[in-house]
Structure 1
Amino acid sequence: MTIKEDKLEGQKTSGGNVVSKKLIPYGGYYTSKVPGHDPELTETGPGTPMGEFMRAFWHPVCMSIELTDTPRYLKILGEELVAFRDGSGRVGVLHAHCVHRGASLEYGAIQERGIRCCYHGMVFDVDGTCLHVPFPKGEEKEAEKFACSIQQGAYKAVERNGLVFAYMGPPDAEPPFPEWEGDFTVLPGDELVPYSNFQHCNWLQVQDNAADNYHPTALHAGKNVVNGQYQGTTFDEVGAASMEVAPDMHFVPVQQGRSLACAGARRVDKDRLFVRVQHQVLPNLSLHAYTSEDGSKKKLFSRFHIIRWTVPVDDENSKMIGWRVMGPGIDTRGVGKKELVGYESIDFLEGQVAMRRPERFGEYKLEDLPPIPPNHRERENYKAAQYAPGDYEAIISQRPIAVHALENPTKFDAGLFLFRKLLRDALRGTNPAASAQSFAEWFRANAGAPNSYCSGNVFEIPEGDTVEEEVARRRKVTKTIVSILNESERLKADERAVFVREKFEELEQSMKN
Structure 2
Amino acid sequence: MISQEMNDRLTRTGPDRACGQLLRRYWQPAALSDELMGERPVCRSMVLGQKLVLFRDEEGRLGALERHCAHRGADLSFGRREDGGLRCPFHGWLFDVSGRCLETPAEPDDRMCTKIRQRSYPVLERSGIIFVYLGDGEPPHLPDLDCFVAPDTHVFAFKGHIDCNWLQALEVGLDPAHASFLHRFFDDADTADSYGKQFRAASAGSDMPMTRVLREFPRPDIGVDATEFGLRITALRRIDERFTHVRVTNMLFPQAFVIPLSQEMTITQWHVPIDDYSCYWYAIFTGFREKLDKTLMREQRLELYQLPDYRPKVGRFNDYGFDPYEQAHQTYTGMGADINVHDQWAVESQGAIQDRTQEHPGRTDRAINAHRRLLLSAMVANEQGERPFMVLDRAEAAAIRGPHTVDGIGPSEGWQKFARTVDSERVRGAPWFDESDRAP
TM-score by length of 2: 0.79
The answer to whether residue 429 in structure 2 is matched with residue 429 in structure 1 is: no
- Look up the SS of the partner of 1:387 in the other structure: coil
Distance (whole Å) between structure 1 residues aligned to residue 365 and residue 303 of structure 2: 28
**Are residues 1:49 and 2:22 paired?**
no
- Where 1:261 maps in the other structure, the secondary structure is strand
After superposition, what is the alpha-carbon deviation per residue over 1:433-460, rounded to whole angstroms, capped at 9, x for unaligned?
Answer: x9545633x4422354513443215364
Q: Distance in 2 between matches of 1:275 and 1:152?
A: 51
Contact 1:307 1:323 in 2 (8 A): yes
State the distance in 2 between where 1:148 and 1:185 align.
40
The one-letter code sitting in structure 1 at the alignment partner of 2:404 is C
Identify the match of residue 169 of structure 1 among 123, 135, 146: 135
State the partner residue of 1:446: 396
Report Cα offsets for 1:234-289 as digits up to 9, x if no partner: 6852424223323211001222xx5111011223565433322211122112111x
2:117 paired residue number: 151
Structure 1 residues 316 and 127, CA, compared in 2 at 3 Å: closer, same or farther?
same
Contact 1:54 1:283 in 2 (8 A): yes
Alpha-carbon offset, residue 478 of structure 1? 5.7
1:272 partner amino acid = F
Paired position in structure 1 for 2:174? 211
Contact 2:199 2:261 in 1 (8 A): no
Question: 1 CA distance for matches of 2:80 and 2:271?
Answer: 30
Q: Would the alpha carbon gap of residues 416 and 493 (structure 1) be closer, same or farther in structure 2, given more than 3 Å must change?
A: farther
Give secondary structure in 1 for the equivalent of 2:176. coil
Match of 1:248 among 210, 217, 221: 221
Q: Provide, for residues 98-144 of structure 1, a one-character-per-residue CA deviation record: whole Å limited to 9, x for no partner.
A: 011000001111124110001010000111110111135xx3xx222
Q: 1:60 to 1:420 in 2, by over 3 A?
A: same
Q: Which amino acid aligns with 1:445?
A: A
Unaligned runs of 5+ in 1: 1-10, 15-34, 226-232, 294-301, 331-335, 348-354, 360-365, 463-472, 486-491, 500-513
Q: Is the 8 A contact 2:314 2:320 kept in 1?
A: no
Pairs within 5 Å for 1:63-462: 63-68=32-37, 69=40, 71-135=42-106, 139=108, 142-144=109-111, 146-170=112-136, 172-180=137-145, 184=148, 186=150, 191-223=154-186, 237-238=200-201, 239-240=209-210, 241-244=212-215, 245=217, 246-255=219-228, 258-268=229-239, 271-288=242-259, 290-292=260-262, 305-326=266-287, 328=289, 338-342=294-298, 357=304, 372=311, 376-379=315-318, 382-384=321-323, 387-388=334-335, 390-429=342-381, 436=387, 439-440=390-391, 442-456=392-406, 458=408, 460-462=410-412
Q: What's 1:352 paired with?
A: none
Q: CA deviation at 1:93?
A: 1.0
Other-structure match for 2:428: none
Q: Do 1:56 and 1:173's aligned partners in 2 also have CA atoms closer than 8 Å?
A: no
In 1, distance between residues paired with 2:123 and 2:149? 24
**Quick one: distance in 2 between partners of 1:216 and 1:380?**
21
Check whether the contact 1:272–1:458 (CA below 8 A) recurs between aligned residues: no
1:313–1:224: structure 2 CA closer, same or farther, 3 Å change rule?
Answer: farther
Kept in 1, the 8 Å contact 2:305–2:313? The answer is no
Distance, in Å, in 2 between the alignment partners of 1:496 and 1:273 is 33
Please give the alpha-carbon distance, in whole angstroms, between the structure 2 residues aligned to 1:283 and 1:96: 26
Unaligned runs of 5+ in 2: 189-195, 202-208, 328-332, 336-340, 424-432
**CA deviations over 1:344-363 (Å, ceiling 9, x no partner):** x765xxxxxxx86458xxxx
* TM-superposed deviation, 1:48: 1.2
Please give the TM-score of this superposition, normalised by the length of structure 1: 0.68
Distance 2:305 2:282 in 1: 17
CA-to-aligned-CA distance 1:369-404 (integer Å, 9 cap, x gap): x87369932249633596225111111111111111
Identical-residue share of aligned pairs (%)? 26
AA matched with 1:454:
H
Q: CA RMSD in A?
A: 3.7
SS in 1 for 2:435: helix
Aligned to 2:191: none
Structure-2 change in CA distance of 1:371 and 1:427 (3 Å):
closer
Shift of 1:412: 0.5
Rounded to whole Å, the distance in 2 between the matches of 1:175 and 1:87 is 28
* Structure possessing the higher radius of gyration over alpha carbons: 1
Asked if the contact 2:144/2:401 (under 8 Å) is kept, the reply is no
SS in 2 for 1:205: helix
Q: Read off the aligned partner of 1:378 and give its amino acid letter.
A: F
CA distance in 2, matches of 1:78, 1:497: 38
